[in-house]
Amino acid sequence: MTPFKLTDELIGQIQLFISEGNNKKLQKLMKELHYADIAEISEELNEEEATYLIKLLDSEKTSDVLAEMDEDIRSAVLNNLSVKEIAEELEELDTDDAADIVGELPDEMAEKVISQIEDREHAEDIVDLLRYDENSAGGLMAKELVQVNENWTVTQCVKEMRAQAENVTRVHSIYVVDNKDRLKGRLSLKDLLTVSTETHIKEVYIPKVDSVHVNEKPEEVAKIMSKYDLEAIPVVDELGRLVGRITIDDIVDVIREEADKDYQLAAGISQDVEADDSIWELTRARLPWLILGLFGGLGAAVIMGSFETIIDNAPEILFFTPLIAAMAGNVGVQSSAIIVQGLANDDLKGSISNRLWKEMLLALLNGLILAALLLLFTWFWKGDFNTAMAISISLIAVIVVAGLIGTFIPLFLDKRNIDPAIATGPFITTSNDIFGILIYFWIAKVILGI
Amino acid sequence: MTPFKLTDELIGQIQLFISEGNNKKLQKLMKELHYADIAEISEELNEEEATYLIKLLDSEKTSDVLAEMDEDIRSAVLNNLSVKEIAEELEELDTDDAADIVGELPDEMAEKVISQIEDREHAEDIVDLLRYDENSAGGLMAKELVQVNENWTVTQCVKEMRAQAENVTRVHSIYVVDNKDRLKGRLSLKDLLTVSTETHIKEVYIPKVDSVHVNEKPEEVAKIMSKYDLEAIPVVDELGRLVGRITIDDIVDVIREEADKDYQLAAGISQDVEADDSIWELTRARLPWLILGLFGGLGAAVIMGSFETIIDNAPEILFFTPLIAAMAGNVGVQSSAIIVQGLANDDLKGSISNRLWKEMLLALLNGLILAALLLLFTWFWKGDFNTAMAISISLIAVIVVAGLIGTFIPLFLDKRNIDPAIATGPFITTSNDIFGILIYFWIAKVILGI
């Protein structure tokens, strides 16, 4: 019951056993570990070592480890397995995991593997799942579920259920369908046991059941399942036919991945990367927003260069450009983050104009407090009230504009069905830098009369 | 099966029915809605309306709605219920939800409510749960679970299980304990049904079961449950005694809240706020980091003011300060975000010095590409190669330093057991602004020889 901890020593030991070919010790060690832990270990090994280790496991564990593994290492390991071996592993897996693996194989290979799967129904289910977009309920669902026909009697139903349940790891619900496979409701085991065996299912099922459409976005499925505390949800197609089932463990992964992605977007990272990825992958993920930031900075420089009179007469105005730009950026990120989160959690109500009005008041309040601090400091430091006033009034204006931009852009993107999460981070920071400095120089010019 | 959508029309209709006292229509409407939807509706009503609506529901639905509601509205509604009424609602709830509600009541009130709960065992369980820190496995767990003693026979076991299962909404596992209530393992229903009724549980249970310690952090519980795809996990105390059970629906909430919190920290929002909170609450959440940013900007201004020779001889150097500051900020946020995420997902391996070395190479690569772009632009724009060189070389240095700071600070905080997520966002941006500008002016001064 002590939790598993991946240590360098453990990896070293496993590598040693592999190099020695000490299969006995390896098998003993692996026997004690959960497949998710073995998958984690395999990610620390090289391709040959990982393949060696996986070939040593018994078939059931192998398939679970494969399903759990990182895509990169899995594809390397699969390359070292024969078509027959892969087909055997797929046979052990639930259809959703099997379809994910088949989807990663080269087309020709995938066909061969599928043709080698002995359980033809299983193979057909996998092929069926491959049709769906990965980024949809269809791409998440599994074919394993327990379904009964509303026209069956309780006796028939119990018999059929027993056969079906053998293929299903965890039976969460018994779904009821009509003769055309359309989802009608669900069945309570308790009711099933308390009514006469000749009763038709039609008379006892519960007609209320949550379901999602096969094209529904995974984030929406996650919202529904977490709102209603569901552990499984049936999936229906355009005709209302029951086509699969999504379980909560897959939804937990969706929620985590979604959160990671939004976090990275806010931090200006444009692709899904991890700290252990190569320098080249990390550069590709980080450079795009940095280039945008560079152009933003150049734009700001050009704007400043065009205010010659300020540079000649009040160069100290230039000292505060990083301050103005930073405040514009911070306020923009704060307000956009709140909107993005509100949109993601579906708890934004009211019109865009109400939101903007509220943000304006909020930014005004923050701006006044900050401007007062700034005024005191600058007046004291530079001893010139006019300059201090010019900077402080600009700060208020800049904060209000930054807040409005930060509020408006994600709402606007959302209306146009673009993921508003891209609006936070560097995008908002860069546009606010430019607007902020433009406003700052305008106001300074007017107030200082130069 | 059409998903529920909260509309202004629906709210308006409900408010109308409430003002008319049209209980019949209200009850009919509420009957069709899920308790989670009613909780959502109640958040859009004022205190009196929400109380009116909730008092109309049947008791079982009332308790579920109460458990699901926003804390603020719940406390308002509870204020309008009698001690007896609250006690009745708590009776209907699972112990974890009931304990959450009791924990929100004023101490005196809480005592009265508990004394009014008729089911004394339920009341004791609630009191027991109140002892645990909200931010621990104990604070998340419920007392409802099915447990059997290893010394029982199968017959005894089945009888006891039947009684216990009545109080448990969803039986995920049957836990096996010894005479001292210590968790020994779990029981498979299938095994239970296939062995002789006189067999002792001791002989058939599965000794392998994942469990968490009652003081474990919720994030850790979430990691374990999502890694091993668990739908429930038993909780044990210091002596290994089974004290409760955590189910996946609560963990889904933990994962969402944790992600929201990290996202807000990265965006410079210091408290948990929503877009619909008051302007005052939003200001309190947003102002602290803005004030930090203000001081950072003032620090940068003071630094610039101290480089008089540059201002007099090469004022165009000042045009690029927002660019330098922005790049330092962006690079810092990117590198810290990757580290923070790696730490959160437990997939950072290797030493701090290796990380810093990698980040340096990465920053150098990014810096060189960006500096080349900057050099071309500035040279072309200003026509002065020396100035362009000074700016570009500074940019490389600033990016490398920013990357190193962004990598080091979260790792350092994590080593000291401080949540590294606070290191992203404004904290990194501000410190990098100051360092960036200092480095920029130094290098410019040296290269331009002024």
The domain ranges of chain A are: 8-134, 146-254, 279-448
Q: B256 is written with which tokens?
A: 């969402």
Best of B294, B295, B428 to mutate (most A CBs within 10 Å, chain A): B294
Considering only CB atoms, which chain A residues are within 8 Å of B298?
323, 374, 377
**Ranges of chain B with pLDDT below 70:** 1-3, 190
Higher pLDDT, A210 or B383: A210
Is A279-448 the same fold as A8-134?
Answer: no
Residue ranges of A 96-135 with Cβ closer than 8 A to chain B: none
- What residue spans of B21-119 are helical by DSSP H? 23-31, 35-42, 47-56, 59-68, 71-79, 83-92, 95-104, 107-116
Going by C-alpha positions, the residue among B196, B249, B171 that lies closest to residue A189 is B171
Nearest to B291 by CA among B409, B421, B426, B123: B426
Q: Look at strands B242-247 and B232-236 and give their pairing.
A: antiparallel
pLDDT number for residue A173: 83
Better-scored residue on pLDDT, A43 or A397: A397
- Backbone φ and ψ for B182, nearest 5 degrees, come out as -80, 135
pLDDT score for A287: 92
CATH 1.20.140.10 fits B279-448, yes or no: no
**In chain A, % of residues over pLDDT 90:** 54
Residue A306: other Cβ atoms inside 10 A? 11
Q: Has residue A227 got a pLDDT over 60?
A: yes
Cα atoms in the 13 Å half-sphere on the side-chain side of A264: 20
Tokens of A181: 């496979």
Write the secondary structure of A153-174 as one string of H (helix), E (strand) and C (coil). Answer: EHHHHHHHHHHHHCCCCCCCCE
Q: Best of B341, B351, B398 to disrupt the A interface by mutation (most A CBs within 10 Å)?
A: B341
Question: Residue A167: left (phi > 0), alpha (psi -120 to 50), or beta?
Answer: alpha
φ, ψ dihedrals at A329, nearest 5°: -65, -50
Distance CA B394, CA B442 (A): 9
What residues have CB less than 8 Å from A156, skipping those under 6 apart?
none
State pLDDT tens for residues A154-191.
Answer: 888 888 887 787 777 777 788 999 999 999 999 877 67
User: Chain B window 74-93: which residues touch A at a Cβ cutoff of 8 Å?
Assistant: none
Q: What is the pTM of this model?
A: 0.85
Residue A373 to residue B294, Cβ atoms within 8 A: yes
DSSP assignments along B423-441, one per residue: GTTHHHHHHHHHHHHHHHH
Looking at B320-351, list the stretches that DSSP marks H as alpha helix, in order from N- to C-terminal side: 321-344
- Contact, A174 vs A161, CB < 8 A? yes
Write the pLDDT tens digit of every residue in B10-61.
Answer: 999 999 999 998 999 999 999 889 999 999 899 888 888 999 999 899 878 8
Among residues A38, A68, A40, which one has the least CA distance to residue A54?
Answer: A38
The pLDDT tens digits of the residues spanning A76-95 come to 899 888 999 999 999 999 99
Tens-digit pLDDT profile for residues A389-444: 999 999 999 999 999 999 999 999 988 888 888 877 778 888 888 999 999 999 99
**Nearest chain B Cα distance for residue A338, angstroms:** 6
Give the distance from residue A112's alpha carbon to the nearest chain B alpha carbon, in angstroms.
31
Residue with token string 């002892």 = B131
Give the tens place of pLDDT for each residue, A111-140.
Answer: 999 999 999 999 999 999 999 998 999 999
Q: Count of A–B CB contacts within 8 Å?
A: 310
Give the CATH superfamily of A146-254.
CBS-domain (3.10.580.10)
Q: Which fold has domain B8-137?
A: MgtE N-terminal fold (1.25.60)
B264, two tokens: 């807000």
Mean pLDDT of chain A: 89
Neighbours of B208 (CB within 10 A): 10
Q: What band does A142 get if pLDDT is binned at 50, 70 and 90? A: very high
pLDDT on residue B2? 59
Report the CATH superfamily, name and number, of domain B146-247: CBS-domain (3.10.580.10)
Contact status, residue A413 vs residue A423, Cβ threshold 8 Å: yes
Looking at 3.90.1150.10, 3.40.50.150, 1.25.60.10, 1.10.357.10, the CATH number of the domain A8-134 comes to 1.25.60.10
Question: For A227, which residue in chain B has the nearest alpha carbon?
Answer: B36
Contact A26, A13 (CB under 8 A): no
Judge whether B302 is closer than 8 Å to chain A, CB to CB: yes
**Pairwise CB contact (< 8 Å): A338 & B283:** no
What is the three-class DSSP state of B57? coil
The answer on pLDDT for A27 being more than 60 is yes
Out of A274, A301, A334, closest to residue B268 by CB: A334
Record: contact B248-A266, CB cut-off 8 A: no
User: Inter-chain contact A300–B282, Cβ cutoff 8 Å?
Assistant: no
Instruction: Give the start-end residues of each E strand in A117-250.
Output: 146-149, 174-177, 183-187, 212-213, 232-236, 242-247
Residue B429 has its nearest CB partner, among A326, A345, A437, at A326
Retrieve residue A38's tokens: 């073995």
Which residues 6+ apart lie within 8 Å of A82 measured at CB?
A: none
One-letter amino acid at B316 equals E
Q: What is the pLDDT of residues B389-426, one digit of tens each?
A: 999 999 999 999 999 999 999 999 988 888 888 877 77
Q: Which of A437, A443, A410 is nearest to A328 (CA)?
A: A437
Q: How confident is the model at residue A2 (pLDDT cuts 50, 70, 90)?
A: low
Residue A267 is classified by DSSP as T
Residue among B319, B288, B303 at smallest CA distance from B390: B319
> Is B414 within 8 Å of chain A by CB?
no
In this complex, do A326 and B325 lie within 8 Å of one another by their Cβ atoms? yes
Looking at per-residue pLDDT, the higher value among A200 and A171 belongs to: A200
Amino acid at B251: I
Distance CA B249, CA B233 (A): 12
AA identity, residue A285? A
Alpha carbon distance A41, A55 (integer Å): 14
Q: Which residue of B has its CA nearest to A359?
A: B279
Contact B323 A294 (CB under 8 A): yes
Minimum mean pLDDT among A204-208, A255-259, A342-346: which range? A342-346
Residue listed under structure tokens 């152009």:
A295
A349 touching B (Cβ < 8 Å)? yes
